[in-house]
Amino acid sequence: MQTPRIGKKLFSLLDGKGLENKQHEAMMLLTVTEDQWPHIAMISVGEIVALDERNLRLALWPGTTTTSNMIRTGKATLAVFIGGKAHYVRLSLEHLPALPGAKHVRERFAAQVFAAREDSAQYADIVSGVTVRLKEPEAVLNRWKETVAELLM
Protein backbone atom coordinates (compact mmCIF):
# COMPACT_ATOMS: atom_id res chain seq x y z
CA MET A 1 0.00 0.00 0.00
CA GLN A 2 1.39 3.39 -1.01
CA THR A 3 1.77 6.12 1.62
CA PRO A 4 -0.51 9.09 0.89
CA ARG A 5 1.24 12.24 -0.27
CA ILE A 6 0.49 15.54 -1.92
CA GLY A 7 1.49 16.06 -5.53
CA LYS A 8 4.47 18.07 -6.71
CA LYS A 9 2.43 21.13 -7.80
CA LEU A 10 0.70 21.35 -4.43
CA PHE A 11 4.01 20.82 -2.63
CA SER A 12 5.52 23.67 -4.66
CA LEU A 13 2.65 25.97 -3.62
CA LEU A 14 3.08 25.05 0.05
CA ASP A 15 6.89 24.93 0.27
CA GLY A 16 7.13 28.27 2.11
CA LYS A 17 9.22 29.87 -0.63
CA GLY A 18 8.44 32.80 -2.93
CA LEU A 19 5.43 33.95 -0.92
CA GLU A 20 5.31 37.21 -2.92
CA ASN A 21 4.42 35.18 -6.02
CA LYS A 22 1.79 33.16 -4.15
CA GLN A 23 0.12 35.96 -2.20
CA HIS A 24 -3.13 35.79 -4.17
CA GLU A 25 -3.74 32.09 -3.54
CA ALA A 26 -6.28 31.14 -0.90
CA MET A 27 -7.24 27.63 0.17
CA MET A 28 -10.20 26.16 1.98
CA LEU A 29 -9.72 24.34 5.27
CA LEU A 30 -12.67 22.20 6.31
CA THR A 31 -13.38 20.99 9.83
CA VAL A 32 -16.41 19.68 11.72
CA THR A 33 -18.15 21.63 14.49
CA GLU A 34 -19.26 20.15 17.82
CA ASP A 35 -22.80 19.83 16.46
CA GLN A 36 -21.45 17.93 13.42
CA TRP A 37 -21.82 20.68 10.81
CA PRO A 38 -19.10 21.23 8.22
CA HIS A 39 -17.13 24.41 8.84
CA ILE A 40 -15.08 26.11 6.12
CA ALA A 41 -12.31 28.66 6.57
CA MET A 42 -9.88 30.24 4.17
CA ILE A 43 -6.16 29.98 4.79
CA SER A 44 -3.16 31.36 2.95
CA VAL A 45 0.33 30.22 2.07
CA GLY A 46 1.43 32.21 5.12
CA GLU A 47 -0.36 29.78 7.46
CA ILE A 48 0.69 26.42 6.08
CA VAL A 49 3.99 24.95 4.99
CA ALA A 50 4.85 21.56 3.54
CA LEU A 51 7.92 19.99 5.13
CA ASP A 52 7.75 17.25 2.51
CA GLU A 53 4.99 15.56 0.51
CA ARG A 54 3.61 13.77 3.59
CA ASN A 55 4.06 16.27 6.42
CA LEU A 56 2.78 19.82 6.77
CA ARG A 57 2.58 22.41 9.52
CA LEU A 58 -0.19 24.91 10.11
CA ALA A 59 -0.30 28.10 12.19
CA LEU A 60 -3.82 29.38 12.84
CA TRP A 61 -5.33 32.21 14.81
CA PRO A 62 -6.14 31.21 18.40
CA GLY A 63 -9.77 31.07 19.50
CA THR A 64 -11.34 30.57 16.08
CA THR A 65 -13.96 27.95 15.28
CA THR A 66 -11.54 26.23 12.89
CA THR A 67 -8.76 26.09 15.46
CA SER A 68 -11.13 24.79 18.15
CA ASN A 69 -12.44 22.11 15.80
CA MET A 70 -8.91 21.01 14.92
CA ILE A 71 -7.83 20.81 18.55
CA ARG A 72 -10.96 18.82 19.43
CA THR A 73 -10.99 16.36 16.50
CA GLY A 74 -7.37 16.19 15.33
CA LYS A 75 -8.64 16.27 11.74
CA ALA A 76 -9.10 18.68 8.84
CA THR A 77 -9.40 18.61 5.07
CA LEU A 78 -7.50 21.02 2.86
CA ALA A 79 -9.06 21.93 -0.52
CA VAL A 80 -6.81 23.65 -3.05
CA PHE A 81 -7.40 24.49 -6.71
CA ILE A 82 -4.15 24.78 -8.65
CA GLY A 83 -2.63 23.55 -11.89
CA GLY A 84 -6.02 22.78 -13.44
CA LYS A 85 -6.92 20.33 -10.67
CA ALA A 86 -8.76 20.25 -7.38
CA HIS A 87 -6.64 18.82 -4.57
CA TYR A 88 -8.36 17.36 -1.50
CA VAL A 89 -6.05 16.47 1.37
CA ARG A 90 -7.23 14.82 4.57
CA LEU A 91 -4.97 15.76 7.45
CA SER A 92 -4.33 13.98 10.72
CA LEU A 93 -3.31 16.68 13.19
CA GLU A 94 -1.15 16.97 16.28
CA HIS A 95 -1.60 20.17 18.29
CA LEU A 96 1.89 21.50 18.96
CA PRO A 97 2.93 23.38 22.09
CA ALA A 98 3.19 27.15 21.94
CA LEU A 99 6.44 28.42 20.51
CA PRO A 100 8.24 30.44 23.23
CA GLY A 101 9.02 33.93 21.99
CA ALA A 102 6.90 33.60 18.85
CA LYS A 103 6.59 36.91 17.04
CA HIS A 104 3.02 36.04 16.02
CA VAL A 105 1.00 34.01 18.52
CA ARG A 106 -0.66 31.14 16.69
CA GLU A 107 -1.99 27.69 17.44
CA ARG A 108 0.44 25.38 15.69
CA PHE A 109 -0.27 21.95 14.26
CA ALA A 110 1.81 19.18 12.76
CA ALA A 111 -0.21 17.57 9.98
CA GLN A 112 0.33 14.20 8.41
CA VAL A 113 -1.31 13.49 5.06
CA PHE A 114 -3.91 10.81 5.78
CA ALA A 115 -5.34 10.77 2.24
CA ALA A 116 -4.79 12.89 -0.87
CA ARG A 117 -6.74 13.06 -4.08
CA GLU A 118 -6.41 15.11 -7.25
CA ASP A 119 -9.63 15.71 -9.16
CA SER A 120 -10.31 17.00 -12.66
CA ALA A 121 -13.03 16.64 -15.26
CA GLN A 122 -12.66 15.62 -18.90
CA TYR A 123 -15.40 18.03 -19.95
CA ALA A 124 -14.14 21.18 -18.21
CA ASP A 125 -10.96 22.92 -17.08
CA ILE A 126 -10.49 24.31 -13.60
CA VAL A 127 -9.28 27.80 -14.42
CA SER A 128 -8.79 29.19 -10.93
CA GLY A 129 -9.55 28.65 -7.31
CA VAL A 130 -10.05 31.18 -4.59
CA THR A 131 -7.90 34.26 -5.18
CA VAL A 132 -7.44 37.28 -2.96
CA ARG A 133 -5.89 40.74 -3.08
CA LEU A 134 -3.99 41.70 0.05
CA LYS A 135 -4.89 45.14 1.42
CA GLU A 136 -1.44 45.68 2.94
CA PRO A 137 0.82 43.30 0.98
CA GLU A 138 4.14 44.34 2.50
CA ALA A 139 2.98 43.93 6.12
CA VAL A 140 1.11 40.71 5.41
CA LEU A 141 3.97 39.15 3.45
CA ASN A 142 6.41 40.00 6.26
CA ARG A 143 4.07 38.37 8.80
CA TRP A 144 3.68 35.31 6.57
CA LYS A 145 7.45 34.92 6.16
CA GLU A 146 7.94 35.14 9.93
CA THR A 147 5.10 32.68 10.57
CA VAL A 148 6.44 30.17 8.03
CA ALA A 149 9.93 30.49 9.54
CA GLU A 150 8.47 29.72 12.97
CA LEU A 151 6.61 26.71 11.58
CA LEU A 152 9.91 25.33 10.34
CA MET A 153 11.47 25.49 13.83
Report pLDDT digits (tens) over 70-89: 999 999 999 999 988 999 99
Could you tell me if residue 2 is inside a domain?
A: no
Could you tell me if residue 141 is inside a domain?
A: yes
- Quote the number of domains for the chain: 1
Q: Across the chain, where does the E strand assignment appear?
A: 25-32, 38-44, 48-50, 55-60, 75-82, 85-96, 107-119, 130-131
Q: What pLDDT sits at residue 2?
A: 65
Could you tell me if residue 66 is inside a domain?
A: yes
Mean pLDDT of 83-106: 94
Could you tell me if residue 36 is inside a domain?
A: yes
Could you tell me if residue 51 is inside a domain?
A: yes
Q: What pLDDT sits at residue 15?
A: 97
Could you tell me if residue 3 is inside a domain?
A: no
- What DSSP letter does each residue of 113-151 carry, written as one string? EEEEEEE-BTTB-----EE---SSHHHHHHHHHHHHHHH
Q: What CATH number corresponds to the domain at position 48?
A: 2.30.110.10
pLDDT at 65 over 60: yes
pLDDT at 100 over 60: yes
- Identify the domain containing residue 127 by its residue range: 8-152
Residue 65 region, left (φ>0) first, then alpha (ψ -120 to 50), else beta? alpha
pTM of the model as a whole: 0.93
Could you tell me if residue 21 is inside a domain?
A: yes
Mean pLDDT of 97-112: 94
What is the torsional sign of CA 149, 17, 21, 31? negative
Could you tell me if residue 55 is inside a domain?
A: yes
